[in-house]
Amino acid sequence: MTSPLYNASGVMCRSVEDLEAMRASSSGALITKSCTLEPREGNPEPRYFVTPLGSINSMGLPNYGYQYYLDYAEKYDYANNKPLFISISGMSLADNLTIIKAFHERALPCILEVNLSCPNLPGKPQLGYDLPAAQHALEKICEFYDRPFGVKLPPYFDVSHFDQAAEVFNKFDLLKYVTCINSVGNGLVIDVDAESVVIKPKDGLGGLGGDYVLPTALANVREFVRRLPGKQVVGCGGVKSGREAFMHILAGATAVQVGSCLYEEGVGAFDRIAQELKDLMAAKGYQKLSDFRGKLKTL
């Protein structure tokens, strides 16, 4: 079975070396680091910190610029490999359109994912939290882009926001999937001994991943699965074993991404989590993911 697991954008996907390690792994797919028009250094370090409950990051979109990933996508062997997703997070709508047009002209089999949810660019609000702006961006993209694509969503925390966001996304037939969730933005981790924050950017504010975000990720997966008929939801957030992968799929996820855990464990996480998921399914008498996908019971 092709693994339902792959990397969360941002982890093990910035350089060709990273991407080739992902391609050689047992993951079922791979996605690139979100890219911008020009290469970016990103925020000052320290900008990533691991805690017993997960991670906090304020990377600031470090990437080699979209042409680097376009070049990788041109050379990628789509026949014998996994689906290649390209994450795009331009600094403006104009930048996003320029990048997407460049990929569109090449008509490559890679799948574009528009990142609506980077929480770490000082002074830049997330599109995912400005739904009129998100709708406008999707309208401009769909004026010319005629192939299936996806979006990376921030976590939402209010049922009315699930409703409003879904209303926007349901207007776009070519929007075939949403990835829920990006990191939970602007958390603050404190080191008691040093009486200090642990990352430098934004006076310590950063996106949370890992155990911190699992219930929020599961809620977003389940609520968007309910609200986006005909689309798919990729689950991301808090996956560190077969159990959390099982939860995401039970909540309706088609595939599941691994971020913080992949950052710490490396590509062995894909083998371990896939095996744990297989064992859990066997113990429950399930043969395939569709035996239990979206079948979370309510009380």
Ligand X SMILES: O=C(O)c1[nH]c(=O)[nH]c(=O)c1I
Q: Does 182 bind ligand X (CB under 6 A)?
A: yes
What is the spatial distance between Cα 151 and Cα 297, in angstroms, rounded to a whole number?
27
Q: Does 220 bind ligand X (CB under 6 A)?
A: no
Q: Does 4 bind ligand X (CB under 6 A)?
A: no
Query: Closest distance between ligand X and the C-beta of residue 281, in Å?
Result: 30
Only one of the segments 96-104, 112-120, 186-194, 234-242 lies at the binding site for ligand X (rule: CB under 6 A); that segment is 112-120
Q: Does 54 bind ligand X (CB under 6 A)?
A: no
What is the spatial distance between Cα 33 and Cα 39, in angstroms, rounded to a whole number?
12
Q: What angle do CA 257, 83, 75 make, to 5 degrees?
A: 125
Of 267, 69, 253, 90, the C-alpha closest to 179 is: 253
Q: Does 120 bind ligand X (CB under 6 A)?
A: yes
Q: Does 260 bind ligand X (CB under 6 A)?
A: no
**Which of 60, 187, 235, 238 lies at the binding interface for ligand X (CB under 6 A)?**
60
**Which of 3, 7, 25, 115 lies at the binding interface for ligand X (CB under 6 A)?**
115
Residue indicated by tokens 């691991």: 50
What is the spatial distance between Cα 256 and Cα 249, in angstroms, rounded to a whole number?
8
Query: Closest distance between ligand X and the C-beta of residue 90, in Å?
Result: 11
Please identify which of the residues 13, 35, 118, 180 carries the catalytic annotation: 118
Residues 6+ positions from 65 with CB-CB distance below 8 Å = 35, 36, 37, 38, 39, 40
Of 98, 157, 91, 96, the C-alpha closest to 118 is: 91
**Of 96 and 117, which CB lies nearer to ligand X in the complex structure?**
117
Q: Does 61 bind ligand X (CB under 6 A)?
A: yes
Structure token pair of residue 146: 């005629």
Q: Write the binding mask 64 to 103 for ligand X: x where contact by CB under 6 A, - elsewhere.
A: -------------------------x--------------
Q: Does 258 bind ligand X (CB under 6 A)?
A: no
Q: Does 183 bind ligand X (CB under 6 A)?
A: yes
Structure token pair of residue 74: 């041109």
Q: Does 10 bind ligand X (CB under 6 A)?
A: yes
Question: Catalytic annotation on 142?
Answer: no
Q: DSSP characters for 194-259?
A: TTEES-SGGGGEEEEEEGGGHHHHHHHHHHHHHH-TT-EEEEESS--SHHHHHHHHHTT-SEEEE-
Which residues would be at the binding site for ligand X (CB under 6 A)?
10, 34, 57-61, 89, 115, 117-118, 120, 182-183, 207
Active-site amino acid positions: 118
